[in-house]
Structure formats: C-alpha cells, structure tokens
Amino acid sequence: MTIEALEVLLKDTIPKGEYIYDTYEDETYIYAFTKLEKLRGIDFDDRYGKVGGPGSIRVNKKNKEFKRGSNRDIPSHFFEKDYVEPTIDSIAKGIVKRQYVNFNDTYNFCKIKFKEKDDSKFNFDKVLEDLKRETTDTITLQFKDYEIRD
C-alpha cells in the first residue's frame, strides 16, 4: 500500500496539517508515522518528538482496521535497520546544526565516554528511572572531568 493510499484510508485519523512521513511493514501490519506539515524536512529533534501525535498508526493489512498506538508496539528490528552508532563527531554536528542539545545527545555522549573508561559504571536508564524523569523535565549534568564537560 502506498503512502497516498494510506493517507486516504486514515484521513479521519490523521489530524489536519499532518502527513505520513515514514512507514514500516511486516506480514500483518503497516505502521504509519505522522508529523506536522510545517516540520517537513526537519531532522530529528526531541523538541518535536510528540507534535505528530501520540504514536504510530497500526493498520491491519487484511481487514484495513487501524488504531493509533505507541511506538513501543512496533517490533524493534524495524528501527535497527536505520540505526547508526553515534560518535562524538556526529553528536557535535547535530548540536551545531540544531543549536540545541537534546536528550539523545546527552545520553549518547555519556555512553561513549563511560565506555572508554569503565562500561560497568554507566547506566543512564537506571539513573532516569530512579529520578522518575518525565519527558518535559530538564536535566542538568555536572562533570568532574573538565575535558569531558567541554
């Protein structure tokens, strides 16, 4: 099914001013991702992470039934094919391009730096879980090592 055909099928589900920008497909479902038209062509930035709606739309290919769900409903192997391991250089380029340090920049940077020293000490997920972090929270990091901070 083409994106155009999906947009026709989902016309009452996709809010006005949004479009389908990506899809993943398996034997049973098509997962459609939407975002605001005004964000067309903008690279990933966590400030825009929720503007396209609460999650993907899962369409059953046989009976054409669909429901808006969470991105956690999507099999992880779909995301793995597009994943590129971040580097310090790629993180820095993204920050300069956006003029904004996002959560993933911080997470990936800390992960890389701790792997260089002692991977067993780093568990950012555990830290955030302990803090009961919400997506709207601001996180402040302090580094004892000025070289890493800079």
**Predicted TM-score of the model (pTM):** 0.58
List the domain boundaries for the chain: 3-80, 88-149
In the structure, what pLDDT confidence band is assigned to residue 52 with cuts at 50, 70 and 90? very low
Q: What is the DSSP letter of 43?
A: P
* Most confident residue range from 9-13, 44-48, 75-79: 9-13
Whether 61 has a pLDDT exceeding 70, the answer reads: yes
Strands 57-60 and 29-36: antiparallel
pLDDT tens digits for range 118-139: 656 566 666 555 555 555 556 6
Q: 21-25, 39-43, 64-68, 138-142: lowest mean pLDDT where?
A: 138-142
What confidence score (pLDDT) does residue 67 get?
Answer: 87
Say which residue, 101 or 90, is predicted with more confidence: 90
If you average pLDDT over residues 80-98, what whole number do you get? 86
Asked whether 20 and 3 are in contact (CB, 8 A), the reply is: yes
